[in-house]
């Protein structure tokens, strides 16, 4: 498992530190809470991620300019710091989950247990991935909402001065769709969220939504998962991701203003190769402080 760190600044009043996880698929969930705290305590930051951040600084500046043009009176742009080594992760303000905590109608209890235990310890916000939207059993759906976690189903909340949104997967078919295109998300919600004023973080399970639906919107930070790092990684590139196909574009790291988490699950059918699971820590600090 890798622990990676991103540092942003924005037009907010108080520094916030988030843990960002994705794609548990009900597996390893007993250890995840333990690992979240171990990573924060040991401050294990991969060097490759630091390099990634520096490489993407220019991209993000372009994105910032675009956001600024779209929103002249609202100076809530991102600013990625080049100094990525945190002195400490001394406090976790909230846990953000970009979907696929559960796996399916048969394999869901462990995911619910995790949601329950993590949300008792930290404020927890969770968007819905394709493995949650596939579940048709209303009892299980009710149980997802009955944990302490805030489920952001095409919805948003204000948390410590930051607007947290969750874009739900557009996939509602129970059939396994490995090669087909991901159905579109709720475009009305995206527009509504984009028009809000304030520092905005959007949990959006599918990274393949980025180019077509999200990158030109007025959103500071987008957090995605789903691609599982491309399952097998060679030359810093993933091999396959559902919804993107072979040699997918978005699998791990930062692309413009989107971070793609490699997720936490170990697949039984296709083992991960050169592709460690990941817990991400994100700090957003006020400008000039």
Which residues bind to Fe ion, rule: CB under 5 A? 100, 129-130, 226
Judge contact between 268 and 222, C-beta under 8 A. no
157: left (phi over 0), alpha (psi -120 to 50) or beta: beta
Residue 10 or residue 185: which is nearer to Fe ion going by CB? 185
> Can you tell me the distance from the alpha carbon of 267 to that of 231, in angstroms, rounded to the nearest whole number?
9
Least Cβ distance, residue 100 to Fe ion (angstroms): 4
Tokens of 97: 């989950």
Q: Give residue for tokens 């400008």.
A: 287
Q: CA of 6: how far to CAs of 70, 97, 217, in Å?
A: 25, 16, 21
Judge contact between 189 and 222, C-beta under 8 A. no
Least Cβ distance, residue 81 to Fe ion (angstroms): 30
Least Cβ distance, residue 129 to Fe ion (angstroms): 4
Least Cβ distance, residue 25 to Fe ion (angstroms): 8
Beta strands of 49-161 (E only): which ranges?
79-80, 94-97, 124-127, 150-152, 155-159
Least Cβ distance, residue 131 to Fe ion (angstroms): 6
Residue 129 or residue 165: which is nearer to Fe ion going by CB? 129
Q: Give residue for tokens 């990676």.
A: 4
Residue 24 or residue 190: which is nearer to Fe ion going by CB? 24
Residue 80 or residue 96: which is nearer to Fe ion going by CB? 96
Tokens of 137: 């059993």
Tokens of 281: 């820590």
> Can you tell me the distance from the alpha carbon of 35 to that of 289, in angstroms, rounded to the nearest whole number?
30
Least Cβ distance, residue 8 to Fe ion (angstroms): 25
Residue 103 or residue 143: which is nearer to Fe ion going by CB? 103
Q: Count other Cβ atoms within 10 Å, centred on residue 20.
A: 24
Nearest residue to Fe ion on Cβ basis: 226
Residue 176 or residue 287: which is nearer to Fe ion going by CB? 176
Check residue 123 and report its DSSP letter: -
Least Cβ distance, residue 57 to Fe ion (angstroms): 29
Residue 93 or residue 100: which is nearer to Fe ion going by CB? 100
Judge contact between 164 and 96, C-beta under 8 A. yes
């Amino acid at each position: 498992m890798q622990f990676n760190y991103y540092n942003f600044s924005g037009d907010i009043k108080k520094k916030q530190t988030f843990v960002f996880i994705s794609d548990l698929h009900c597996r390893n969930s007993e250890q995840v809470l333990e690992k979240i705290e171990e990573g924060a305590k040991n401050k294990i930051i991969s060097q490759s991620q630091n390099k990634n951040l520096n490489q993407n600084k220019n991209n993000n500046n372009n994105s910032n300019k675009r956001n600024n043009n779209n929103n002249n009176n609202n100076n809530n742009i991102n600013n990625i710091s080049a100094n990525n080594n945190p002195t400490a992760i001394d406090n976790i303000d909230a846990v953000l989950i970009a979907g696929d905590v559960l796996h399916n109608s048969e394999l869901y209890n462990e995911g619910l247990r995790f949601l329950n235990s993590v949300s008792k310890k930290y404020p927890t916000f969770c968007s819905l991935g394709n493995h949650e939207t596939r579940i048709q059993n209303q009892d299980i759906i009710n149980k997802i909402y009955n944990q302490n976690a805030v489920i952001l189903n095409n919805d948003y909340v204000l948390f410590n001065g930051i607007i947290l949104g969750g874009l739900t997967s557009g996939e509602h078919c129970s059939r396994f769709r490995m090669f087909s295109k991901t159905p579109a998300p709720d475009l009305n919600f995206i527009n509504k969220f984009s028009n809000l004023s304030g520092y905005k973080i959007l949990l959006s399970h599918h990274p393949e939504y980025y180019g077509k639906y999200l990158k030109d919107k007025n959103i500071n930070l987008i957090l995605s998962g789903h691609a599982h790092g491309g399952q097998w990684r060679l030359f810093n590139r993933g091999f396959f991701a559902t919804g993107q196909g072979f040699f997918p574009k978005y699998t791990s790291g930062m692309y413009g203003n989107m971070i793609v988490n490699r997720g936490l699950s170990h697949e039984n059918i296709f083992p991960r190769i050169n592709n460690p699971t990941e817990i991400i820590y994100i700090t957003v600090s006020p400008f000039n402080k």
